[in-house]
Chain A
Amino acid sequence: MREVAIIGIGQTPVGEHWDKGLRELALEALEAAMRDAGVERVEALYVGNMLSGQIEAQEHLGALVADFAGMHGVEAVKVEAACASGAAALRVGYAMVAGGLADRVAVVGVEKMTDASGEAITVALATAADAEHEGVHGMTFTALNALLMRRYMHEHGYRREDFAPFAINAHRNAVHNPYAMLRFPITAEAFAAARVIADPITLLDASPVCDGAAAVILCPADQARAFHERPVRIRASAIATDTVALHDRRDPLWLEAVALSAHRAFQQAGVRPEDIDFFELHDAFTIMAALSLEACGFAPRGRGVAMALEGEIFREGRLPIATMGGLKARGHPVGATGLYQVVEAVLQLRGAAGLNQIRDARLGMTQSIGGTGATVITHILEAMA
């Protein structure tokens, strides 16, 4: 296997893009990434996306985006794994370069959500769950997370307000990220008073509906310097799965696929959790951030929220998370999110994260969670010396 490097990154601002559709968003991110890498052609394109078939009545995104981007004849397919679609597309691109099947690969994650009504988005997102045994009972994606959060509070004795540091940290970091959607700080008081969506989850536990696209360009690591002076090596790429339905898990509060994919990633990279300098995790809801920290081994069982309360997740803490705003405040354009996380990690590892820069960041980890933990994809990235 060859080592793989990221030599170019691109992203659109996350938000409500009334003036841009799927293809325009994807193209904008792709062009930026190719410009950043100084690459004019790629051999393959992988498109991460979850909802285009439901919201835009458009599938076949591999060919569609390749066509619109003027990449005539290129190998191109869409990769789908619910909210982890972007990271899944990166995994495929990584495998192509690592396996020697291609030398220049583009990976783009794109999602267009704001063309649909709230009810339609709720239906569309619920398809990440088990339609026969969860969806049919009126279960929404927010409700599933609320079930987890209430049980977690019950078992570990936390209050709703204890989850505030996750949202406060994310919003604080989004302020300095020009691509983030919610660029304003929030207070603990605002968190406590936020409108309930599905008790105990409020608006400030949840990531927003939005549009966006992010892209990376990959090449073999030994060629990377020819394209970019600060390339980033992919040290690990690991996917694990679990039951799609939450109720089928022996212990719903233990995200088995998070534990498996993180463990595999640590093994591949030959590192331990304490070696990671920052972590772009899947904070679609505050409860997911807590459960991810625990299953990855960054916090003991039941201590994910305590870790946040102790300030360890902030920029100056032991393990900064959501360093550019996370899903909560950068925004969560579902199929694009996995690539936003990677683009942001690359900015940190290049030392180009501006006011959000983590000092001496060398090793970063990103993790996307599809559904309530059915597909989990972890990448470990390293600044090339």
Chain B
Amino acid sequence: MHPARAWRGRQQRYRLIGEVCSGCGARLFPPRDVCPACQRPARTPYPFSGRGEVYSYTVVYEPPAGYEEQAPYIVALIQLEEGPLVSAMLTDVHPEEVYIGMPVEMVTRVLHRQGERGVIAYGYKFRPLLRQALPAVASAEAARA
């Protein structure tokens, strides 16, 4: 990947910044500039919370070039809490622990490397919602509520 191509995607890949439609208010991720619902411009940046749940998932055993060292890895469709679906890898979790509906949150990780001298591309992946994975924190929060 050319450095400029990685750099162009920095807002969405590192910070999960999408867009909001000036017409109907739809929140869009990935950013796409024209609202698919009402065809009006959607160029106002909108930061997504990074929380969502697993809509579907699978494990890739035969990776494309550049992803070999991560294989086997889990890819998923994540339904963000604001509505949109997004494609991403799951991380910090074993395949047998994943289920449809699992709460997840966005983290920034290495997406792929291109050899010794190539760009190391970073971007979003999703991991199980950390608060849920730590019973002590979850119960403390529940007690406060």
User: A138-B73, A151-B100, A198-B59 are contacts. A133–B30 as well, Cβ < 8 Å?
Assistant: yes
Task: Say yes or no for A136: interface residue by CB 8 A criterion.
Answer: yes
User: A122-B62, A142-B62, A248-B36 are contacts. A137–B75 as well, Cβ < 8 Å?
Assistant: yes
Q: Which of A6-14, A29-37, A74-82, A239-247 forms part of the interface with chain B?
A: A239-247
Partner of B89, one of A119, A120, A138, A147: A138
Q: List 5 A-B contacts (CB under 8 A).
A: A137-B87, A139-B87, A140-B62, A199-B95, A248-B32
B111 touches A137 (CB 8 A): yes
Separation of A135 and B88 alpha carbons in the complex (Å): 10
What is the interface of chain A, defined by CB distance below 8 A to chain B? 118-120, 122-123, 126, 132-140, 142-143, 146-148, 150-151, 154, 196-201, 243, 245-249, 252
User: A118-B62, A120-B65, A197-B62 are contacts. A150–B87 as well, Cβ < 8 Å?
Assistant: no
Nearest-Cβ distance from residue A314 to partner chain B, whole angstroms: 29
Sorting the interface of chain B by its residue count into under 10, 10 to 19, 20 to 34 or 35 or more gives: 35 or more
Chain A residues closer than 8 Å to B59, beta-carbon distance = 198-199
Task: Say yes or no for B46: interface residue by CB 8 A criterion.
Answer: no
User: A136-B121, A140-B64, A247-B84 are contacts. A147–B58 as well, Cβ < 8 Å?
Assistant: yes
Task: Say yes or no for B38: interface residue by CB 8 A criterion.
Answer: no
Task: Name the residue on A nearest B123 (C-beta).
Answer: A136
B57 touches A136 (CB 8 A): no
Chain B residues closer than 8 Å to A120, beta-carbon distance = 65
User: A147-B76, A199-B59 are contacts. A245–B64 as well, Cβ < 8 Å?
Assistant: no
Separation of A360 and B71 alpha carbons in the complex (Å): 51
Separation of A246 and B123 alpha carbons in the complex (Å): 19
User: A246-B77, A248-B36, A252-B77 are contacts. A137–B61 as well, Cβ < 8 Å?
Assistant: no
For the residues of A in contact with B, the DSSP-based class is: helix
Separation of A196 and B62 alpha carbons in the complex (Å): 11
Task: Say yes or no for B86: interface residue by CB 8 A criterion.
Answer: yes
User: A123-B65, A138-B111 are contacts. A201–B58 as well, Cβ < 8 Å?
Assistant: yes
Nearest first, the 4 A-B pairs at minimum CB distance are A146-B58, A247-B85, A151-B56, A147-B56
Considering only residues 41-95 of chain B, those with a C-beta below 8 Å from chain A are: 55-65, 67-68, 70, 73, 75-77, 84-89, 95
Chain B residues closer than 8 Å to A154, beta-carbon distance = 56, 100
Between A118, A150, A246, the greatest number of chain B beta carbons within 10 A of the residue's beta carbon is seen for: A150
